[in-house]
A and B are shown apart, each in its own frame.
Chain A
Amino acid sequence: MPNLKSIKRKISSIKNTRQITKAMKMVAGSKLKRNQSAMNEFRTYASTYDSVIKNISDNTVLYSHPFYGKILKKREGGNGSNTGIIIISTDRGLCGSFNMNLFKLFFEELKVREINSSQVKLYILGKKGSDFFKKHNYEVVFNKSFSESESAINLSVLLSDSISNDFKENKIENIYIMSNQYISTLHQKAYAEKVLPFETQAAGKNKKSGGYLIEPVDYEEEIIDKIFKDYIQTKIYFKILESFAGEQASRMNAMDNATRNAGKLINKLTVSYNKARQAAVTLEILDIINGVNAIK
């Protein structure tokens, strides 16, 4: 028969845990709201930028920019085909399978795209990601956690500078970004996207003629360069915001589940506690009756 005292102790400790998970859920909920609105505010800007870059990519004239793949193939004297992968993970744990899904996607993508793991250069945001990939001996070029840096926007500027420089210097030939896409509060999906080189329309038919007039003409290259760089920064920043919102949503769900499980466990233990207590009472009564009978 289980000990009454030990069950009671167990119940009270689980109650404590439930309180903590409940509080964490509330905190995650309020953070989620803030992050969600930040993400939604920025979404129109990011999507408009996407469509602008797509318009430009449909045009042939700007292909001389190094961010397009064509030039790259011509200077094939580079050092193999290194692939840069940006991973946006989180700083803190206790958010369900949020980070694990990302890491799983990473290994799947390596397999699908036939990328040799020795040719991968990683750009990692978030402590969890850097811990994981350091343990697996990957080459980490860029590594920053969110809590160390003052703001997400500075982080995205730093990262985009670093990748566009590495890309221009031919240290890496492809860049992918892997992060968690925020679909809804209940659903986040790990997602990989190619950042560089820019995709161009292969068939000649769809190309629009005319090209672009860039003013002032003297600074044509600087202007385009800045627009492309800002695009990468915008993209990274949006992914970070999305990941922030997803993290909190995922944490909220995880903590909600934990709270519910704790409740279930408490019910179960309470039932067995009552049973044990009843058994003890019955035993005691039996003892007394036996005692009374013996005296008679």
Chain B
Amino acid sequence: MILNLRVVNKKRLVFEGEADFCEIPTEAGIEGIMPKHVNFIANLASGKIKYKTGEKVNEIDVVEGGFVEVGSDNVNILLNS
């Protein structure tokens, strides 16, 4: 099982691809998301989105907030910048 991660901001597609695990800074705290996570919506707080594919961990900065929607292993992150 893998996550389909899609990160966009208002200018471009930041990342689209598969990830084994991701960590998202939300207003309610940092949220770790693995496959089969419950459907989930939250606003983003500033911080770093981390996602892991294989052994590699990548990071994306969240500057101006946005929100995340998780539904049946699809993670959509919309950034406000």
Contacts and interface: CB of A to CB of B under 8 A. Distances in A.
Interface residues of A, number: 23
A161 B12 CA distance: 26
> SS class of chain B's interface: helix, strand, loop or mixed?
strand
Interface string B12-37: 11000000000000111001000000
B6 interface: yes
A190 B78 CA distance: 29
Given A41-B12, A48-B76, A48-B78, A224 B41 contact: yes
Contact of A45 (B10, B42, B72): B10
A215 to B, nearest CB: 4
Contacts, number: 66
Contacts of B28: 215-216
A215 B32 CA distance: 13
Interface string A40-69: 011011001101100110010000000000
B71 to A, nearest CB: 5
B70 to A, nearest CB: 9
Contacts of A210: 38-39
A183 interface: no
Contacts of B78: 45, 48-49, 52
B9 interface: yes
A76 to B, nearest CB: 30
Interface of B: 6, 8-13, 26-28, 31, 38-43, 67, 69, 71-72, 74, 76, 78
Given A56-B41, A208-B71, A224-B41, 12 more contacts: A41-B12, A48-B76, A49-B78, A55-B74, A56-B71, A210-B38, A211-B39, A213-B41, A214-B42, A215-B31, A216-B28, A227-B41
